[in-house]
Amino acid sequence: MLARNETFLPGAQAFEATGLTLDYRTSKGTLRAVENVSFSCAEGERLVLLGRSGCGKSSILKAVAGFLPVAGGEILVKGRRIDGAGPDRIVVFQEFDQLLPWKTVRENVAFPLRVAGRIGKAEARERAAEALRKVGLERAIDAYPHTLSGGMKQRAAIARALVTGADVLLMDEPFAALDALTRRRLQEDLLRLAENERFTLLFVTHSIEEAILIGTRLHLLSAHPGRTIATFDTAEFDLSNAGNARFDGVVKEVNQLLFAETNDEDADHV
């Protein structure tokens, strides 16, 4: 499991970025997506990047995953400067087609373990089954991806991430394409899993409410190019107090900060 208990050191730094600047080369020249952003996330924490569309949230997540080279600054995972992707980080995307269609759910979850070649087939199957139980998908263990709902596919993608034992789970709007009820169930289950498994999470979302609920800390980014506006400690919020006056106060404050730069109307989603 992620951040395995035997290696879990509360307070130890899981990942950090210092002066992170990200550029894309386009036909019109260099496009600066993110400028001089710094953050850190201790093991067991859940850092959420929140900002308006195009502010560079996904670019930061891709850079931490090692898919996008940095133009300035650096990213450290467990104190080591990253140089590309690695088994210490695993990504769950928004898209429902992350599973291999010709493999069953259990085979999909076992697949990264088999590819890594560290364990035998029987153990990989057993670990996959255990991860699927944890995400509430035991009944669909032998199903093929095309027979699953969107929520079930995201559960399977989370199980596959859990089973790898990566240090950091990176989630790029994993629930954005789900209906409101399914989204809430997945949020509940992610929080429960985070509590039980104590994994470290970098999470990207458009939803202010989801950000406060999921995150132990929020990192707010300005509109394009993304620069840090503010950070919020949101560890006190969970499903039991979502929507209370204090929670709503933070929603309002975040909203004002994100929309202060423009005259846009307030919105729950940015």
Ligand X SMILES: Nc1ncnc2c1ncn2[C@@H]1O[C@H](COP(=O)(O)OP(=O)(O)OP(=O)(O)O)[C@@H](O)[C@H]1O
Q: Which residues bind ligand X (CB under 6 A)?
A: 24, 26, 31, 33, 51, 53-59, 206, 224
DSSP single-letter state for residue 266: P
Q: Please give the C-alpha separations between residue 117 and each of 123, 154, 176, 228, 234, in angstroms, as whole numbers.
A: 11, 25, 33, 41, 39
The Cβ-side half-sphere exposure at 204, using a 13 Å CA radius, reads 24
End-to-end CA distance of the chain: 33
248-257: long-range contacts, CB 8 A cutoff, minimum separation 24 = 250/212, 251/208, 251/209, 251/212, 254/50, 254/208, 254/211, 254/212, 254/218, 254/220, 255/208, 257/220, 257/229, 257/230
DSSP single-letter state for residue 269: B
